[in-house]
Amino acid sequence: MLHAARLLEIETGRIITPGEVLVMGDKIKEVGTTVNHPAVAQVINLGNRTLMPGLIDAHIHL
């Protein structure tokens, strides 16, 4: 599970504080301010960063 100061809600453009993203395998399972996660889940605290689930950096130079 990823925890950060903010989360950009992609569909609405709204900023949620704080933000959490639960990832299981290679899939995003849940996003929000307080995500239900398994007790054994590793929590990664990203501090003052902003989570942007579903967005990728497609800017590359070949």
Q: Is pLDDT of 60 > 90?
A: no
Q: Is residue 54 assigned to a domain?
A: no
Q: Is residue 59 assigned to a domain?
A: no
Q: Is pLDDT of 58 > 80?
A: no
Q: Is residue 15 assigned to a domain?
A: yes
Q: Is pLDDT of 56 > 90?
A: no
Owning domain of residue 19: 2-38
- pLDDT tens, position by position, 20-55: 999 999 899 999 998 998 999 999 999 999 999 988
DSSP string, 5-53: SEEEETTTTEEESSEEEEEETTEEEEEESS----TTPPPEE-TT-EE-T
Q: Is residue 22 assigned to a domain?
A: yes
Q: Is residue 62 assigned to a domain?
A: no
Our count of domains for the chain comes to 1
Report pLDDT for 62.
77
Q: Is residue 61 assigned to a domain?
A: no
Report pLDDT for 52.
93
